[in-house]
Structure formats: C-alpha cells, structure tokens
Chains A and B, each alone.
Chain A
Amino acid sequence: MADDNGSQNAVVIERTLDAPADLIWRMWTDPEHFKAWYGPDGATIPVADMDVSVGGTRLVCMEMETPNGTMQMWFTGEYREVVEHKRLVYTESMSDENGNVLSPSEMGMPEGHPTTTEIIVELEHVGGRTKMVMTHAGVPADSPGAAGWEMALDKLAARVASQG
C-alpha cells in the first residue's frame, strides 16, 4: 500500500503474524512448511529442494490440475543472504526440472516480467508477534522499462482486447 506509486519494479508487502520469528523463518526455509502455504489455491508443491545457505540453490515445483492434464512449473534460484530468523534473500527464475533457466514470457508470465527476480524477507520480533516485510523485485540488469512503453502498449492493447 505504502509503495504503490514509489518504486515501480518491486512489490513490498508487510504483515504482522501471530507467531515467533523462528516459526516464520521455517515457513520460508523448511520445505514441509513452505509447501503448505506457497502454492496458489488448487496447486500443490511436490518439490521444494532448499539448500538454505549463502550460494546454496533452490528448486521448487508447482503442480496444477488443468483440463489439459497436470501442469508443472519449475523455479530455481540461489540464496544470497541467510541471517537466521532475521533476513533471507534469494533469487528466482523460471526453469525446467533440472534448474535450467527459461524465459518468463515463453512461460506465460505477466508482461515485462524480468528473467530473474529477488525475494527479500525481513523478520522482526514485535512483542510475541513477528513483523514480516517481503520485497519482490526485478534484478536490475534484467528489469523491464528499458524495453520502452511502446511494447508495453502493444501488450496492454492485447490484454484489453482479450478482456473485451
């Protein structure tokens, strides 16, 4: 809310959760907990491999039942900062099941979606509860904007047409 018109290429969400920071930390770093909340409704997370250490890799699979059968989406990334119970930074890219990075546009992601994004989770203990601030940002080298608005206009037009 606070960030709506500020930094254009990041989404920042703040939540205060009724649990200690170590449990929230495990929500992000323990595959069993992560699988319980991460997937969209109707999806499952059959794979969540997480080597939670600086330079460690992650590989997550999201699985959905569609009228055309089971659809899988794979995401890979690397942990950049790991400060237990306080701060977690990792990258994310769409990939195949072996962790080879794929282009987001080919995978039907929102227009302008950068190839690599970064997720920053900051936790702060506040009287028995935990303030969590999540920032999801494009990695600058790949961020959109340079593409110019003309392309965005074409895509938007297509989107408007498809909604009509």
Chain B
Amino acid sequence: MEEDRLSETFAALANSTRRAILARLAQGEANVSELAEPFDLSLPAISKHIKVLERAGLVVRGQRAQFRPCTIDAAPLEEISTWAEQYRPVWEARFDRMDDYIQQLKQQRKT
C-alpha cells in the first residue's frame, strides 16, 4: 500500500476520541450530534475529528442534506492489519540471505 495512506491511517487512529468514534460507528451509522453525545466536546470539535477520519478513508458521510450520517469504512484497517503483509519483509530478508548463500556456495565450488 502507499506509504502516505498508511501514515494517514495511523495518524487518524492515534487519537482516543477518533478511535471511540470509530468504535461507535462499528455498531451502525450515526450523525454528528449522536457521535458528540458521549464526549465533552463541541460539535465543531467533533466535526474536525470526523474530517480527519474521512480524509483517512475510515469514515464515509452520506449525502442526505440534513443528517449526513457517518458510516465506517474498514478497508484501510484491513490493509494494515493483515498478518500476511507484516510477513512480507521477513520473507524478503530470508530470500536475500538465500541469494547470498547460493553465491557463497558457487565461490566455494570455484576454489
């Protein structure tokens, strides 16, 4: 995945209010005032957090003018959290060593 997008996802998650907003949205869509309820924050402050989540692609806002309910998009999370992608550098390093080792064997054969 693109490095920038990864940073953006991490940055969006590095805030407890935003994580709480996502946890709330995991249970279903909600509008801004519903999302603000559990927090001691103004609506504009909550809106700001939602914008950060939107930019990171974690939240999608509906088009209905009055409510514009927020829903969650978990795709960026799945992308970071697959164990397989975390394993890629391990295998790449192994195959670098395999390559080196093969070269060593060839050198030994020559001498």
Whether A127 sits at the interface, judged by CB under 8 Å, is: no
Kindly supply a per-residue 1/0 record for chain B positions 13-54, scoring 1 wherever the CB is within 8 Å of any chain A CB and 0 otherwise. 110000100110010000000000000000000000000000
- Chain B contact-residue range equals 35 or more
- Chain A contact-residue range equals 35 or more
Q: Which of B83-111 contact A (CB under 8 A)?
A: 83-88, 90-95, 97-103, 105-106
Chain B residue numbers with a CB within 8 Å of A149 are 26, 74, 77-78, 81
Closest chain-A Cβ to B97's Cβ sits at a distance in Å of 4
Inter-chain contact B101/A36, CB cutoff 8 Å: yes
Chain A residue numbers with a CB within 8 Å of B67 are none
Chain A residue numbers with a CB within 8 Å of B101 are 27, 33, 36-37
- Hey, which bits of chain A sit against chain B, CB under 8 A? 4-5, 8-11, 13, 15, 17-19, 23-24, 27, 33, 36-38, 40-41, 109-114, 132, 134, 136-138, 144-145, 149-150, 152-153, 155-157, 160-161, 163-164
